[in-house]
Amino acid sequence: MGSTDLNPSQRNQTALVEFILLGFSDVPNLRGFLFGLFLVMYVIILVGNSLILIITKIDPSLQTPMYFFLGNFSFLEICYVSVTVPRLLADLYRQNRSISFIACATQMYVFLVLGVTECFILTAMAYDRYVAICKPLLYPVLMNDKLCIQLAGSCWVSGIPVHIGFTYSIFSLPFCGHKQLDHFFCDIPPVLTLVCGDTFLIEMLIYVIALLVVTIPFMLILGSYVKIISTILKLPSTTGRAKAFSTCSSHLMVVALFFGSGIITYLRPKSSHSAETDKLFSLFYTIVTPMFNPMIYCLRNKDVMVALRKFLLQWVVF
């Protein structure tokens, strides 16, 4: 019996078995190049963030709240890219690009939870800088070890319950027609293109969740930095101003890259979505930004550079 003889509900059931991730199959001649490029970028992300994670744990000069959150952020980046990049590399290497319905839902869920965690970790880092610069005398009291652990723990678990329901609501929708996902991982926009019927309610839910976990943290970060910059400009010492700006600028750059690409991807009008632009923006916040983050924090932070140099010299000596 051909697929045309199936009733709509049967066609929906066949679509639920698996999806086909098209990825970059439209440029077969570039598969080898893209595999090598993404592999190198992935290794840079793993090595760069691992080094930051190690030195923030072992170097005594980096045992402060600022570097505690930076260590959490680096570990998060390793987890974040590992949700999508290994699968992307495997699909570029092999011919079979199918992904089961459950695996697709799981990948989306973990990716969204880690994305929310990153929003909150960046917000906690902004709060730490705000207290350090605007309330320096109270900093040791306000940013004590207990509060830092509580903040970090809250950042890691906050997205878990929200996205269980959200992911379930997406994958409970009726899927029909072709099951080819024109993307390199199970992200929200490409999955919704395979949904039958009206997606208005789920799109409204996306905007509500984005407001709660993206827009509000972003506004809190901006508010913190308005006060931070205002305080820095009032510092009498030019050296003090330069050091404060140097410390904060790296965080601001990371915030701009992550939130900028995320907001453009998820909050721009549906009419402006296309497979090519979605993949381009997704590459930016899943691979490019995480690759630059360790470089930004290392090159613009003298303390991290000194600790990293000390750590690498120990390995050279031994």
Backbone φ, ψ for residue 291 (5° rounding) = -70, -35
Alpha helices in 158-237 (DSSP H): 159-171, 188-192, 200-210, 216-233
Q: Is the pLDDT of residue 224 over 80?
A: yes
Phi, psi of 278 (to 5 degrees): -60, -45
Q: How far apart are CA 85 and CA 184, in angstroms?
A: 9
Q: Is the pLDDT of residue 13 over 70?
A: no
For the cut 50, the answer to whether the pLDDT of residue 16 exceeds it is: yes
- What is the distance between the alpha carbons of residues 191 and 237, in angstroms, rounded to a whole number? 54
H or E element, residue 247: helix 238-267
The CA distance from 120 to 160, in Å, is: 13
Short-list 288, 297, 284, CA closest to 252:
297
Residues contacting 245, CB < 8 A, separation 6+: 232
Q: What is the mean pLDDT of residues 261-274?
A: 71
Domain count, the chain: 1
What are the backbone dihedrals phi and psi of residue 182, each rounded to the nearest 5 degrees, phi first?
-80, 70
pTM: 0.89
Kindly state the average pLDDT of the residues 139-144: 94
Residue 167's domain comprises 3-317
The CATH number assigned to the domain holding 157 equals 1.20.1070.10
pLDDT for position 225:
92
C-alpha to C-alpha distance for 149 and 204, rounded to whole angstroms: 34
Between CA 251 and CA 35 the distance in angstroms is 30
Check pLDDT > 50 for residue 307. Answer: yes
